[in-house]
Amino acid sequence: MELREAIGRRRSMRYLLPHKPVEREKIQRMLEAARLASFWGNVQALKAVVIERATAPQDVLDAIPPGSALAGFQLRLAPVLIVWWLDWSLIDVQGDRLHELVEAGAVGIDKENSHRYLDETLIPFFRASGEGMRQGGMTEMDCGQGIAQATLVAFEQGLGTCLIGQPAQKKLKRVLGLPTDSKILVIQTVGYPAESLEAGGQRPRLPFEEKFFLNRMGQPFPRDPAVVEGLKRDKMLQDPAPASWRRAELDYLSRALGIPPIFGEEMPELAERIMKEFSEPEPT
- Among 81-90, 102-111, 121-130, 161-170, the minimum mean pLDDT is found in 121-130
Question: What are the tens digits of pLDDT across the range 16-30?
Answer: 999 999 999 999 999
- Give the CATH number for residue 274: 3.40.109.10
Q: Dihedral, CA atoms, 230, 236, 241, 242, nearest 10 degrees? A: 100
Give pLDDT, residue 52.
97
**Which domain range does residue 149 map to?**
3-202+238-279
Spatial neighbors of 283 by CB under 8 A, at least 6 apart, are: 170, 173, 174, 180
Say if residue 128's pLDDT is above 60.
Answer: yes
Residue 230 covered by a domain? no
Residue 84 backbone phi and psi in degrees, to 5: -85, 125
Give pLDDT, residue 122.
85
Residue 225 covered by a domain? no
Give pLDDT, residue 65.
81
Cα 113 to chain centroid, rounded: 38
Give pLDDT, residue 223.
97
Exposed, middle or buried: residue 71 (CB in 10 Å: 0-12, 13-18, 19+)?
Answer: buried
Residue 211 covered by a domain? no
Q: How many domains does the chain have?
A: 1
Residue 160 covered by a domain? yes
Residue 229 covered by a domain? no
Question: What are the tens digits of pLDDT across the range 186-245?
Answer: 999 999 999 998 888 888 999 999 999 999 999 999 999 999 999 999 988 988 899 999
Say if residue 8's pLDDT is above 60.
Answer: no
Amino acid 29 reads R
Say if residue 66's pLDDT is above 70.
Answer: yes
What b/e sequence results for 251-270 when a residue is b if at least 16 CB atoms lie within 10 Å of its CB, and e otherwise? eebeeeeebeeeeeebeeeb
Residue 220 covered by a domain? no
Residue 41 covered by a domain? yes
CA 77 vs CA 67, 156, 206, 264: distances in Å: 12, 22, 31, 17
> Other C-beta atoms within 10 Å of 242: how many?
14
- Among 8-12, 80-84, 222-226, the minimum mean pLDDT is found in 8-12
Give pLDDT, residue 199.
84
Give pLDDT, residue 277.
66
Residue 226 covered by a domain? no
Give pLDDT, residue 107.
83
Say if residue 134's pLDDT is above 80.
Answer: no
pLDDT, average across residues 155-167: 91
